[in-house]
């Protein structure tokens, strides 16, 4: 119990430090656009260091379940481009999600499973049988907030490795869409750029992606049921 209290205190200290040092200011589109040129200069002088620091910052935000993952994903596209931005976000979001998953499991799973054992029996059976597919569906069609999925899955019996690889695979398509939107955002220099075909297409993809993902998921379910 003492170790759990220490971990909770450590997490609380990190969250407080995040706001005390005003790191949350980097989680806005305004700050992203204002500092775009500075980021590009840093990247040009130290590409690997900037990439690593961005990766760590993203993991910190997602691991502590702080708001801002979507903004950071768009920022990755604006700073690093589609390919490298997608690689960084794909691994950072999956690692951060897994850290949040592990913290929730270590801190709360035993209590929740003991307190609601009878009610969770069906849930545990379903997770053991269909956990990977269920998580894939949640990641592909983000009905629930990203951080909430990490925490709730940590309270189940889902294996850590399964959670990681399914999360990375399930979030990949959405990551590409958001990173691509960020690459277009970085190109806005005047009002005329807002109506460019590339930018309109990128933001159209943001809107229709959940519908396409849902259609794909329904198709996948039909194939599974047909077997």
Per-residue pLDDT of the chain (227 residues; tens, 9 = 90+): 678 888 888 888 888 988 887 777 777 666 666 666 777 788 888 889 999 999 999 999 999 988 888 889 988 998 899 999 999 999 999 999 999 999 999 988 877 777 766 666 766 777 777 778 888 888 887 677 888 889 888 888 889 999 999 999 989 988 988 888 888 776 654 434 434 556 556 556 666 666 677 777 777 777 766 66
Instruction: Tell me, yes or no, if the pTM score tops 0.95.
Output: no
DSSP 28: S
- Placement of tokens 């989680």 in the chain: 27
Residue 95 lies in a domain: yes
Q: Which domain holds residue 179?
A: 42-226
Residue 119 lies in a domain: yes
As a 3-state breakdown, the chain gives helix, strand, coil percent values, each rounded to 5, of 85, 0, 15
Residue 57 lies in a domain: yes
* Contacts of 172-175 spanning 24+ positions with Cβ under 8 A: 172/86, 172/90, 173/140, 173/209, 173/213, 174/139, 174/140, 174/142, 174/209, 174/213, 175/73, 175/86, 175/89, 175/90, 175/93
DSSP 1: -
3-state SS assignment for residue 96: helix
Residue 16 lies in a domain: no
Please tell me the distance from the alpha carbon of residue 167 to that of residue 69, in angstroms, as a whole number: 14
- DSSP for 162-225 reads HHHHHHHHHHHHHHHHHHHHHHHHTT--SGGGGG-HHHHHHHHHHHHHHHHHHHHHHHHHHHHH
Residue 94 lies in a domain: yes
Please tell me the distance from the alpha carbon of residue 64 to that of residue 82, in angstroms, as a whole number: 26
Residue 204 lies in a domain: yes
Residue 34 lies in a domain: no
Question: H-helix or E-strand containing 120?
Answer: helix 117-140
Angle separating helix axes 146-154 and 47-63, nearest 10 degrees: 60
Number of domains in the chain: 1
Phi first, then psi: what are they for 143, rounded to 5°?
Answer: -70, -40
Residue 96 lies in a domain: yes
- Nearest-CA neighbor of 91 among 125, 119, 51? 51
């Amino acid at each position: 119990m003492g170790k759990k209290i220490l971990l909770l205190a450590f997490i609380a200290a990190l969250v407080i430090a995040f706001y005390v040092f005003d790191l949350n200011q980097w989680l806005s589109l305004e700050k992203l656009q204002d500092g775009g040129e500075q980021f590009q200069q840093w990247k040009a002088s130290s590409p690997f260091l900037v990439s690593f620091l961005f990766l760590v910052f993203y993991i910190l935000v997602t691991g502590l379940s702080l708001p801002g993952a979507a903004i950071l994903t768009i920022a990755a596209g604006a700073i690093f481009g589609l390919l490298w931005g997608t690689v960084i976000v794909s691994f950072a979001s999956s690692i951060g999600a897994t850290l949040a998953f592990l913290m929730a499991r270590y801190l709360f799973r035993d209590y929740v499973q003991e307190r609601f054992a009878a009610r969770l029996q069906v849930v545990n059976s379903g997770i053991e049988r269909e956990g990977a597919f269920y998580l894939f569906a949640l990641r592909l069609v983000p009905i629930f907030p990203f951080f909430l999925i990490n925490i709730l899955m940590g309270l189940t019996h889902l294996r850590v490795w399964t959670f990681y690889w399914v999360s990375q695979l399930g979030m990949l398509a959405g990551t590409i869409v958001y990173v691509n939107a960020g690459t277009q955002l970085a190109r806005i220099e005047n009002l005329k750029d807002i109506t460019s075909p590339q930018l309109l297409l990128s933001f159209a993809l943001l809107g229709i992606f959940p519908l396409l993902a849902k259609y794909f998921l329904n198709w996948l379910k039909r194939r599974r049921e047909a077997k």
